[in-house]
Amino acid sequence: MCGIAGIYGVSDKPLLKRMCNVIEHRGPDDSGYYVDDAVSIGMRRLSIIDLAGGRQPIFNEDGNIVVVFNGEIYNFRELRYDLEQKGHRFTTDSDTEVIVHAYEEYGYDCLDRFNGMFAIALWDMDRRKLFLARDRVGIKPLYYAAIDGVLVFGSEIKSILEYGIKREVDVQALADYFVLRYVPAPRTMFKGIRKLDPGCYMVVNTDGIEKKSYWNLEFKTIPGNEDYFSNNILKMLKNSVKRRLIADVPLGVFLSGGVDSSTITAIASEFSSEPVKTFSVGFYGAKYDETSYARNAAEYFETDHTEEWVDIDNADILPELIYQADEPLADPAMLPTYLISKVARKKVKVVLSGEGGDEAFAGYDHYASEIGARNMLRCVPGLLRKLVFKLGEEVNECALKKYLLYVGSRTTHEDSYSYRLKLRDGGYLNTDILRTDGVKDNTRALFHSDGDYLNCMLGFDINYWLPDDLLMKVDKMTMANSLEARVPFLDHELLQLVCGVPSGMKLGKRLLKMSVKELLPAEVMQRKKHGFDVPIKEWFKGDTLDEYLSEEMIGDTPYLDSKGVHELWGRHRSGKGDYGVLLWKCLCYVGWYDAYW
């Protein structure tokens, strides 16, 4: 695991070092650089595999291909064996070296052979081409900016800013953010800086930039009954966890006591000769506390368990979290993720985490409720829906507004963008933001396909919500603490199988529960789905967050209206509506602008 950075078109080692040093938290163990007349590429290393021999950059035998790399290639040993049979010679035991030889042998198609999470920067000296690639699901981030014939890239935006790029808010990205609470790829909140999309690669040379997709998740139904799918899912899950236990350093698991994290813990325990180290987090004053479930699961699997507790006093680290996220990310679970990562890093260098289980196995309650509401609202005449939607635009009361806009817009899931767009118009946003269309076109493309409606929802979440919120949060908050997170549910082979399961078997994690029922105690199997219960509603009723959303800070932040935000906050404090989520979005945006301007 590392952080990478570089420049095509500029030879400047001092600048490259600054770009790498600003992400030292991603790799405090080592650094490495390669500079020639055309490129400057470098990295910061968190040593996990082949601690002594895995230093980067790594070259091929002839010294004409060089790579820096962030992530893990889990099947590197199998790939190495195949490449050795073809005559390739290796000098280390690291997964990084497999990349240069696989590129030599297969070219850009080497990506099809990698099982892992990665952001790759490879310089082909003979062809004078820079090859950048990101893993299929977007577990590892990779950003870039093209400026006057120069391409700057990095694992974090901080590195790109070191180049001196002009800082300007991307208004379209801001519109998307206030709808979704995150910025979907390829945009970032910095105008001119882009994310490389999951499952894509770029080739950069004197002819320009060529960007291509090498993998797309397909929802093509696979024939089979429940026994067939459950048996294969369990087999592939075990293989996925086993692969992600490969490390030359201590390893643990984030454990909430739910089905996903308990499944990972159960399988990890099966393959471990010592008690697995597990970590959980809880909130003082939260309505729902899952630490007791995590504690019970830890006792059941006989793990070495550690708990961390969070309350409003931890708000003093918000500026640090917002800075580490690179751009506004209004996921309140950033706070507990950061804190439990800090605790875990004292004992381990790698953790396994359960992200992707709900998206792959349709675990969220809203999947079923969306399908039910859609079927019901099909009976409501279109003209009546338009009248109801118009009425909703005129209403100020929060709950009623939500209901009227919901009923008025739900002919297709694509219309939910219009629904959310109107909800955010609470007098706190500049009208320039309200005129933008944001991710509406992306939503339309997914939901106007001929696919099954559940698969359309899963496709949207896997393509946007998962990489740009959940995985971004986990990457940034763990790496801020020099901790690597691995996500077994997002093994691409497992994910492709699950996406081929008929929709009728998916809702409510039905098939996952069938697959792992022999591994988990009844208490885990039967508990209701809950996420992190971060009590932001209660937090905004007190005064602890006042300093992070002051009138002065809002006044210095473009596209926000200070009076509108504080009127919204006043209604929240007086109990006239729950605006905690909207206020949290404002707080993260204001904090981000304060950190980077």
Tell me, yes or no, whether 546 lies in a domain.
no
Tell me, yes or no, whether 298 lies in a domain.
no
Pick the last residue of a domain from 501, 527, 553: 527
Tell me which amino acid residue 181 is.
R
Task: Please report which confidence band the pLDDT of residue 391 belongs to, taking 50, 70 and 90 as the band edges.
Answer: low
Query: pLDDT averaged over the chain?
Result: 89
pLDDT at position 32 over 90: yes
Q: Quick one: pLDDT at residue 127?
A: 97
Q: What angle do CA 582, 585, 587 make, to 5 degrees?
A: 110
Task: Please report which confidence band the pLDDT of residue 191 belongs to, taking 50, 70 and 90 as the band edges.
Answer: very high
φ, ψ for residue 127, nearest 5 deg: -90, -10
353 is in an annotated binding site: yes
Give the residue from 261, 270, 260, 274 showing the smallest Cα distance to 238: 270
pLDDT, tens only, 325-380: 999 999 999 999 999 999 999 999 999 999 999 999 999 888 887 777 677 666 66
95 is in an annotated binding site: yes
Give the residue from 490, 455, 437 showing the smallest Cα distance to 184: 437
CA separation for the pair 56, 36 (Å, rounded): 16
- Are residues 500 and 362 located together in one domain of the fold? yes
Give the β-pairing of 65-73 and 116-124: antiparallel
CA separation for the pair 519, 513 (Å, rounded): 10
Give the residue from 543, 505, 546, 512 showing the smallest Cα distance to 529: 512
Give the residue from 480, 484, 528, 340 showing the smallest Cα distance to 23: 480
pLDDT at position 428 over 50: yes
CB-CB contact of 297 with 525 (8 Å):
no
Q: Quick one: pLDDT at residue 290?
A: 74
The pLDDT of 442-446, averaged and rounded, is 55
Q: Quick one: pLDDT at residue 91?
A: 92
Instruction: Give the pair of three-digit tokens for residue 231.
Output: 């048996």
Tell me, yes or no, whether 292 lies in a domain.
no
475 is in an annotated binding site: no
CATH number of 74's domain: 3.60.20.10
pLDDT at position 499 over 60: yes
The pLDDT of 194-213, averaged and rounded, is 97
Q: Helices (DSSP H) in 448-516: which residue ranges?
A: 453-460, 471-479, 492-499, 510-516
> Residue 166: exposed, middle, or buried by beta-carbon count in 10 A (0-12, 13-18, 19+)?
exposed
- Are residues 140 and 235 located together in one domain of the fold? no
Give the residue from 250, 260, 254 showing the smallest Cα distance to 282: 254
Of 438 and 160, the structure prediction assigns the larger pLDDT to: 160
pLDDT at position 451 over 70: no
Compute, in degrees rounded to 10, the torsion defined by CA atoms 7, 206, 140, 334: 60
Q: Quick one: pLDDT at residue 578?
A: 87
pLDDT, tens only, 212-261: 999 999 899 999 999 999 999 999 999 999 999 999 999 999 999 999 99
Percent of the chain at pLDDT above 70?
85
Q: Quick one: pLDDT at residue 370?
A: 76
Tell me, yes or no, whether 412 lies in a domain.
yes
Alpha carbon of 130 to those of 108, 138, 150: distances in Å? Answer: 11, 20, 12
Pick the last residue of a domain from 527, 554, 572: 527
Give the residue from 124, 196, 128 showing the smallest Cα distance to 160: 196
pLDDT, tens only, 468-497: 999 999 999 999 999 999 999 999 999 999
φ, ψ for residue 537, nearest 5 deg: -60, -45
Instruction: Give the pair of three-digit tokens for residue 197.
Output: 């999309």
- Are residues 206 and 231 located together in one domain of the fold? no
The pLDDT of 509-514, averaged and rounded, is 94
Domain that holds residue 388: 217-249+261-267+336-343+351-527
Q: Quick one: pLDDT at residue 527?
A: 80
- Are residues 100 and 75 located together in one domain of the fold? yes
Task: Please report which confidence band the pLDDT of residue 45 belongs to, taking 50, 70 and 90 as the band edges.
Answer: very high
pLDDT, tens only, 263-301: 999 999 999 999 999 999 988 766 667 788 999 999 999
Q: Return the residue matching tokens 């933008």.
A: 436
- Are residues 188 and 62 located together in one domain of the fold? yes
Task: Please report which confidence band the pLDDT of residue 434 belongs to, taking 50, 70 and 90 as the band edges.
Answer: low
pLDDT at position 505 over 50: yes
Of 424 and 396, the structure prediction assigns the larger pLDDT to: 396
pLDDT at position 423 over 50: no
Percent of the chain at pLDDT above 90?
69
- Are residues 223 and 206 located together in one domain of the fold? no
- Are residues 206 and 240 located together in one domain of the fold? no
Task: Please report which confidence band the pLDDT of residue 419 belongs to, taking 50, 70 and 90 as the band edges.
Answer: very low
CA separation for the pair 456, 446 (Å, rounded): 6
Residues that are catalytic: 2
Pick the last residue of a domain from 472, 494, 527: 527
- Are residues 172 and 239 located together in one domain of the fold? no
The pLDDT of 58-74, averaged and rounded, is 96
- Are residues 141 and 73 located together in one domain of the fold? yes
- Are residues 176 and 226 located together in one domain of the fold? no
Tell me, yes or no, whether 317 lies in a domain.
no
Q: Quick one: pLDDT at residue 574?
A: 92
Q: Residues near 235 by Cβ (< 8 Å), separated by ≥ 6? A: none
Tell me, yes or no, whether 79 lies in a domain.
yes
Tell me, yes or no, whether 58 lies in a domain.
yes
Instruction: Give the pair of three-digit tokens for residue 82.
Output: 């195949």
346: left (phi over 0), alpha (psi -120 to 50) or beta: alpha
CATH number of 455's domain: 3.40.50
Supply the DSSP symbol for 429. B
281 is in an annotated binding site: yes
- The total of structural domains in the chain comes to 2
Instruction: Give the N- to C-terminal CA distance of the chain in Å, as an integer.
Output: 30
Tell me, yes or no, whether 36 lies in a domain.
yes
pLDDT, tens only, 99-123: 999 999 999 999 999 999 999 999 9
The pLDDT of 90-94, averaged and rounded, is 92
Q: Helices (DSSP H) in 280-381: which residue ranges?
A: 291-301, 318-324, 334-344, 357-360, 365-377
Supply the DSSP symbol for 583. H
How many other β-carbons are positioned within 10 Å of the β-carbon of residue 184? 24
pLDDT, tens only, 137-174: 999 999 999 999 999 999 999 999 999 999 999 998 99
CA separation for the pair 247, 188 (Å, rounded): 33
- Are residues 49 and 193 located together in one domain of the fold? yes
Give the residue from 538, 509, 235, 499 showing the smallest Cα distance to 364: 509
- Are residues 91 and 197 located together in one domain of the fold? yes
